[in-house]
């Protein structure tokens, strides 16, 4: 029987994804565990492995397709000994759907391939649109169109099923005659398709009426920005935030960091680690949660979730938003291990190659804007965490010691807490433990 390959749910909250690339073609034989496609989620590009063995009979969803619903059929495999053409055409036995794939969900993917193949000339006239008037275009084509200031929906597509591809954008830009993206704004003579308003937010029309026509550009929200907006709005609306700030002296920490980096062993002529202040902040936060376990919690309506390890998420800025890769059981790891792991996670975060388990969950988070020169700020709690530490820049300040004014390196940190789980006194205790490790960093080496 033919075997359906469906769009996988790569995270608990994933509802749809973009089929970025096929790594197989029709007629290829695949085995269980073979990487067959790349799927783009809101925050990462994931490789998808085959679960079954067989021959690729049909690629139902073309590469570059956006907004493919979870559990929609994206390809069909012919089982061993089965006629490939029969499996592709559906003339054989009914395809075996995965147990978790609702039959109703298979319909959207089938429509993607149902575009009339017998009318190639029509495909060159205009790019096809889905039922919601969304133009089909590859991610690269969309980016190039945006950079060139052209409306991708006005470009004729020559890709599969009329999809707008890189070549089409380049041709359109060279030929001119296209409206700038800004011209897609609503006007009396050429109304644009109505944009869906933000949930509980102002509509495009309500905002744009305050600006002169032609003085702005409409940039559609991508999946990452929508997810960030939804989660942070939910956080501020449902979590009672409470903030505690403290100043930490850094002189001892900076001296120890310099000493540890100078003594790092080398491999192939390079040091095996190079500690940053942020690495030591991560370790100090993890140890503070170990010392104050009542603060290493998550709130649920029925229970207080008490975590056994400090899994510290670290905010990393990437194009279009941010992501928080997680250092698991950070309280048990050496500074060098945290440093090297963070470098790897940060690099893969920027290229959107993190696996969901590498950025989902966690018990707390650290957001460091000190390297950007920010002195003090308050971060938004990221559920299911109950705490997040905002780290400001270290700077020379005049402090008083034993009645004498001296200059010291000082940074301000602010702990945001979910007051349902970590109240003011407990937050102050946690922040006090963190301050002790920062100002007495030898304790992090024990």
Q: What is the pLDDT of residues 268-291, one digit of tens each?
A: 999 999 999 999 999 999 999 999
Q: Of these residues, 161, 307, 385, 419, which one is catalytic?
A: 419
Give the distance, in angstroms, between the CA of residue 268 and the centroid of all CA atoms in the same chain.
34
- Per the prediction, the chain carries an average pLDDT of 81
Q: Which of 94-108, 125-139, 176-190, 394-408 has the highest mean pLDDT?
A: 394-408
pLDDT reading at 20 higher than 90: no
Please count the residues of the chain: 446
Q: In the annotation, is 419 catalytic?
A: yes
- Identify which has the larger pLDDT, 190 or 307: 307
User: The tokens of 2 are what?
Assistant: 């033919």
- In three-state secondary structure terms, 13 is coil
Residue appearing with tokens 């799927």: 39
Structure tokens given for 119: 């009318």
pLDDT digits (tens, 9 = 90+) for 112-131: 343 333 333 333 333 344 43
Distances (CA, A) of 78 to 24, 25, 89, 94, 96: 14, 13, 11, 12, 10
**pLDDT at res. 201:** 65
- Encode pLDDT of 320-349 as tens digits: 888 999 999 999 999 999 999 999 999 999
Q: Domains in the chain, start-ordered, CATH in brackets?
A: 3-113 (2.40.50.100), 121-226 (4.10.320.10), 241-445 (3.30.559.10)
Q: So what's the pLDDT on residue 141?
A: 74
Distance, C-alpha 62 to centroid of its chain: 23
| Average of per-residue pLDDT across 346-364 | 90
Segment 201-217 shows an average pLDDT of: 80
Quote the CA–CA distance of 391 and 245 in Å, as a whole number. 10
Closest listed residue to residue 208, CA positions, set 216, 219, 199, 200: 216
> pLDDT (tens digit, 9 = 90+) per residue, 163-205?
677 777 777 777 653 534 433 333 333 343 343 444 456 777 7
Eight-class DSSP state of 64: T
Distances (CA, A) of 384 to 12, 321, 336, 430: 13, 19, 28, 18
Contacts of residue 223, Cβ cutoff 8 Å, sequence gap at least 6: 18, 40, 41, 42
**pLDDT over 80 (residue 296):** yes
**Cβ count near 127 (within 10 Å):** 25
Measured N-to-C along each axis, helices 335-350 and 277-291 cross at an angle, to the nearest 10 degrees, of 110
Q: What is the mean pLDDT of residues 217-246?
A: 89
DSSP tally for the chain: helices H, then strands E: 11, 21
């Amino acid at each position: 029987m033919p075997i359906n390959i469906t769009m996988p749910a790569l995270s608990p909250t994933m509802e749809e994804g973009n089929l970025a690339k096929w790594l197989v073609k029709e007629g290829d034989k695949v085995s269980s565990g073979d990487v067959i496609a790349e799927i783009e989620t809101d925050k990462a590009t994931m490789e998808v492995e085959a679960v079954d063995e067989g021959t690729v009979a049909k690629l139902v969803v073309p590469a570059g397709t956006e907004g493919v619903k979870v559990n929609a059929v994206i390809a069909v495999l012919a089982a061993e000994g089965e006629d490939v053409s029969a499996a592709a055409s559906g003339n054989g036995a009914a395809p075996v759907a995965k147990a978790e794939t609702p039959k109703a969900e298979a319909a959207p993917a089938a429509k993607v391939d149902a575009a009339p193949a017998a009318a190639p000339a029509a495909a060159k006239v205009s790019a096809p649109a889905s039922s919601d008037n969304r133009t089909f275009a590859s991610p690269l084509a969309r980016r190039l169109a945006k950079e060139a200031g052209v409306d991708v929906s006005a470009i004729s597509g020559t890709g599969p099923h009329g999809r707008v591809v890189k070549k089409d954008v380049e041709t359109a830009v060279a030929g001119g005659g296209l409206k700038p993206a800004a011209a897609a704004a609503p006007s009396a003579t050429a109304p644009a398709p109505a944009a869906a308003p933000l949930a509980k937010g102002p509509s495009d029309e309500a905002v744009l009426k305050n600006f002169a026509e032609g003085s702005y550009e409409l940039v559609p929200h991508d999946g990452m920005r929508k997810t960030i907006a939804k989660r942070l709005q939910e956080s501020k609306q449902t979590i009672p935030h409470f903030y505690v700030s403290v100043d930490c002296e850094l002189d001892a920490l900076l001296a120890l960091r310099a000493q540890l980096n100078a003594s790092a062993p080398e491999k192939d002529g390079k040091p095996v680690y190079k500690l940053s202040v942020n690495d030591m902040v991560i370790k100090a936060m993890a140890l503070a949660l170990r010392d104050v376990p009542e603060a290493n919690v998550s709130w649920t309506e029925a229970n207080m979730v008490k975590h056994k390890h400090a899994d510290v998420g670290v905010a990393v800025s990437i194009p279009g938003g941010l992501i928080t890769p997680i250092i698991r059981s950070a309280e048990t790891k050496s500074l060098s291990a945290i440093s090297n792991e963070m470098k790897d996670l940060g690099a893969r975060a920027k290229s959107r190659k993190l696996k969901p388990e590498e950025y989902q969950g966690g018990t707390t988070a650290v957001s460091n804007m000190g390297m950007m020169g920010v002195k003090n700020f308050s971060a938004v709690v990221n559920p299911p965490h109950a705490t997040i530490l905002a780290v400001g820049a270290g700077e020379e300040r005049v402090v008083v010691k034993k009645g004498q004014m001296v200059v010291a390196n000082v940074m301000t940190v602010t702990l945001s807490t979910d007051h349902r789980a970590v109240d003011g006194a407990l937050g102050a205790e946690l922040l006090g433990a963190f301050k002790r490790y920062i100002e007495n960093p030898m304790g992090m080496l024990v």
